[in-house]
A and B are shown apart, each in its own frame.
Chain A
């Protein structure tokens, strides 16, 4: 029997299509999302993101399960539906049970997305491609936003489907469309806010752990401080617009038109305009920080 070995495969020239900047951005988004979720990476890289995503969905699955159980009890003659209605939250309130998962997920994703590129020199390789600083950052932000939406939009969407199939959901097509719009609006608002801030912090360091710690310190530490001074009456609850832990959810409650149970409203209703201004201010400040940090980034960065 003879064996054949290919010793020289040669080099083929390529004269096919080159897909342009949009395709490059799409490739970067896809690669970033896969890296963040640990695809084609060692098992240890998959554990954390999968665990946090699962944690974000557990309350939703429990709520839907309660509606299913309520309906079964109802068929057995027990007033299960009213018991279930008393237990399951509204769409806005459901965010409160996944707040921590969202914050922890955001503390993980943005550092994972930005820091290694500067630390390993990948940024220089990207900037030597059809991408430039702007399209690189837009792609990275899009990837973080998509990933964050998995935990900010996904759970309430499942809740909508679950509630609707169990007869707890909005009535009629208009009700469905309105609720769906609010879910997307609230989920995107929260995602945009945490994406912007976490990316800004991640742009300041090449260390993932330092970026994660700084994000958690800013969100949780500042929240604790502000909550304390607002509760003590030292300052107006309007200072809550600086509270990154509660501000996104205040925005969500405004979008769903529900009264907020958060400390931000302890005294009186904070105008929705101020909430919007707070969200916009955080996002704008974050964009400025990122732009400043990447202004001079080059191939030797």
Chain B
């Protein structure tokens, strides 16, 4: 199976309010970002993937199944970590994770073992007997991740998993999510409104705005490779910029970073010229690569 979720012209209204309009997208293997501002329809789409809302029109397939018709079967294979941090305050973390593993159909003994393992995996092994109400926001986010992971789902839906985390905790959470996609091999859909965390963590993205899919696909394809090169040097680049400009290239300087483009030469020739000029200038080169668009450029390009 190559596609994890397939949506074809999926539409959904709540009363008179359209929430999704002709949404067509494909989510492949790996980590996929579901990106969009608040109210874009991300949570509704997650609910529809869980089979909790039926599409008014169009077709949605999750793990090869219709999530409404095969709801329990689909949900048994999905791990879900909600956005909210409210959890039963007096329930120990281990009991919480074990209970949800059992609810997902694991035998009792297996659920207990996997709950413990999942908590260790998210670095909460030492805290597993603590009541949820005594854990910090970051720890509770990781408990939710452990609860979603313990049943060993085929697909993980994470709704704003870094909400409320400080930068260190956020980095740690994003690393965990990346590892789930790469080391563990579980497909992940990460719902977020933060461009940088999607760009950092995800292989693919589905961008929603006001219920419309405005971009979707692998990040590399969406960003594409722009003409030109970006180089980062370790000394004042003024002289280098001057020499590049004298050869008819367009140069934009931002401190030690130079973006060099040209309509006159091809990409290979451009890279050779830049290499030679850097060598001639006698300054250190920290980075030299083809220019790529950021996800922000992509989204701005589609008018978001």
A128 to B50, CA, bound (A): 6
B132's nearest neighbour on chain A, judged by CB, is A120
Within 8 A of A (CB), among B78-104: 78, 80, 82-84, 86-92, 95, 99-100, 102-104
Within 8 A of A (CB), among B225-260: none
Q: Enumerate chain A residues within 8 angstroms of B47, measured Cβ to Cβ.
A: 298-300
The answer to the question of B71 belonging to the interface, with a C-beta cut-off of 8 Å to chain A, is yes
Q: Which of A11, A17, A18 has the most CB of B within 10 A?
A: A11
Q: Which of A11, A24, A299 contacts B50 (CB 8 A)?
A: A299
Q: Which of A13, A125, A132 contacts B147 (CB 8 A)?
A: A125
* Other A-B pairs, 16, CB within 8 Å; known A132-B71, A298-B52: A18-B106, A19-B105, A20-B76, A23-B105, A24-B104, A27-B102, A31-B99, A124-B84, A128-B75, A128-B80, A129-B100, A129-B104, A299-B46, A299-B50, A299-B82, A300-B84
Closest approach, in angstroms, between the C-beta of A49 and any C-beta of chain B? 15
Interface residues on B, range: 35 or more
Nearest first, the 9 closest Cβ-Cβ pairs linking A and B are: A14-B152, A18-B105, A128-B80, A27-B102, A130-B72, A130-B76, A129-B103, A121-B86, A19-B105
A12 to B102, CA, bound (A): 17
A31's nearest neighbour on chain B, judged by CB, is B99
Q: Which of A41, A130, A298 has the most CB of B within 10 A?
A: A130
How many A-B pairs fall under 8 Å by CB?
A: 118
The answer to the question of B183 belonging to the interface, with a C-beta cut-off of 8 Å to chain A, is yes
Contact with A along B37-65 (1 / 0, CB 8 A): 00000010011001011000000000000
Q: Enumerate chain B residues within 8 angstroms of A300, measured Cβ to Cβ.
A: 43, 47, 82-84
Contact with B along A93-132 (1 / 0, CB 8 A): 0000000000000000000000010011110111111111
B106 touches A14 (CB 8 A): yes
Given A122-B87, A130-B72, A298-B52, A27 and B152 contact (CB-CB distance below 8 Å): no
Q: Enumerate chain B residues within 8 angstroms of A24, measured Cβ to Cβ.
A: 102-105
Q: Enumerate chain B residues within 8 angstroms of A10, measured Cβ to Cβ.
A: 121
A13 to B154, CA, bound (A): 10
Closest approach, in angstroms, between the C-beta of B286 and any C-beta of chain A? 33
B86 touches A130 (CB 8 A): no
A40 touches B92 (CB 8 A): yes
Give me 5 A-to-B residue pairs in the complex whose CB atoms sit less than 8 angstroms apart, sorted by A's number. Answer: A14-B152, A21-B72, A129-B75, A130-B73, A131-B103
Within 8 A of A (CB), among B125-182: 125, 147, 149, 151-152, 157
A116 touches B88 (CB 8 A): yes
Q: Which of A27, A41, A116 contacts B99 (CB 8 A)?
A: A27
Given A14-B114, A300-B43, A9 and B105 contact (CB-CB distance below 8 Å): no
Closest approach, in angstroms, between the C-beta of A12 and any C-beta of chain B? 7
A119 to B157, CA, bound (A): 22
A119 to B72, CA, bound (A): 24
Given A27-B99, A120-B87, A122-B88, A299 and B52 contact (CB-CB distance below 8 Å): yes
Closest approach, in angstroms, between the C-beta of A47 and any C-beta of chain B? 14
Contact with B along A1-42 (1 / 0, CB 8 A): 000000001111110111111011001100100000000111
Q: Which of A9, A14, A41, A124 contacts B120 (CB 8 A)?
A: A9
